[in-house]
Amino acid sequence: MRHHCEDIALSHFLQSLRKLPLRTFSTNARKVHTAPARTLSLLRPLLFLVATGGGYAGYRQYEKYQEREWEKLGLEIPRKLAGHWEVALYKSVPTRLLSRAWGRLNQVELPHWLRRPVYSLYIWTFGVNMKEAAVEDLHHYRNLSEFFRRKLKPQARPVCGLHSVISPSDGKILNFGQVKNCEVEQVKGVTYSLESFLGPRIPTEDLPFPPATSCGSFRSQLVTREGNELYHCVIYLAPGDYHCFHSPTDWTVSHRRHFPGSLMSVNPGMARWIKELFCHNERVVLTGDWKHGFFSLTAVGATNVGSIRIYFDQDLHTNSPRYSKGSYNDFSFVTHMNKEGIPMRKGEHLGEFNLGSTIVLIFEAPKDFNFKLKAGQKIRFGEALGSL
């Protein structure tokens, strides 16, 4: 009944637009009829939003169809690496500016009658499960930004207490395993440099623990305890996933490094195409330690996901014009007043994205650490990643 009333209201609104009084003015060549300028200016951003959203929705559906067809045939999705000129051409696209514009557009308050059709299109395109949302009523969300950052019902994501490391977010497992030769796989067969991704090792005085070895390799600087190995896990958050991320274990955050960079798409197709994709993109690297030594969580930005928020870090401002690509900004949470850093409990709220993106965990653990995962599987926040 409620939906029927909304449809009637929408129909009356459209009819009223057709009846708007037209103004006529003359030129030497011809007469031109215009609708009231105020009405057109109000509708223009909404029409742009619907057009771009509809086009992207069609592209996403075609991409999903292609991947499903390959999976049905039992074939590995073909991998073709981009050339240097292709990467340079992609990076020349002003994705940072476009993402800032998209962010502002997301803040535009939608008319009450338009919220349900716009959000319903998004839900259908990306498979959003609104039954898990703390507020299921679509009219509650005044703009797209509020809808993207929706909270879940408390019982929707129970946190696994039996395993030492849990998934910090909903998403898809792109890759996981041991880090070898300072190269990390973003997807099978496509790698990126560990040092390029994390940046130079932070000064020893900022660490809550001293490095265990003076070995020159970057990997050995991260492994602080004898007998430990370095592990990694990459989780891709699709636009339809829950957009908040949480602490994957009990640990202490001592340092933050922000890399301004490009905002290229990080979907699995792009990760298979562009080598070192995560090193090109803007990202926020949180480092610290857990009971087995070094631990890090990196939030990687993407197209239209320039906004990365860390709840306890009010000084962090991502996708800002004041930061240039190729640089990085450090911030230490270890101070004279706080000698340890920021303690985080497993499952505690840590931060959020707008739209989808990627979380990368890099940490050390004993050699008998085992992942409870399969590459390509879907995972939800709170489920086990691995344990000893």
Q: Does the active-site annotation cover 317?
A: no
Torsion of CA 360, 343, 225, 381, to 10 degrees: -30
Say how far apart CA 167 and CA 162 lie, in whole Å.
Answer: 13
313-323 core/surface letters (b: 16 or more CB in 10 A; e: else): beebebbeeeb
3-state helix, strand, coil in the chain (%, to 5): 30, 25, 40
Say how far apart CA 219 and CA 51 lie, in whole Å.
Answer: 47
Given the residues 99, 164, 167, 170, select the one marked as catalytic.
170
Extract the runs of DSSP E, i.e. beta strands, from the chain: 23-26, 31-34, 165-166, 171-178, 183-187, 190-193, 228-237, 244-246, 251-259, 283-290, 293-300, 308-310, 329-332, 342-344, 349-353, 357-366, 370-371, 378-379, 384-387
Q: Does the active-site annotation cover 357?
A: yes
Given the residues 246, 255, 280, 292, select the one marked as catalytic.
246
Say how far apart CA 184 and CA 267 lie, in whole Å.
Answer: 17
φ and ψ of 26, to 5 deg: -105, 145
Q: Does the active-site annotation cover 280?
A: no
- Active-site residues: which are they? 170, 246, 357
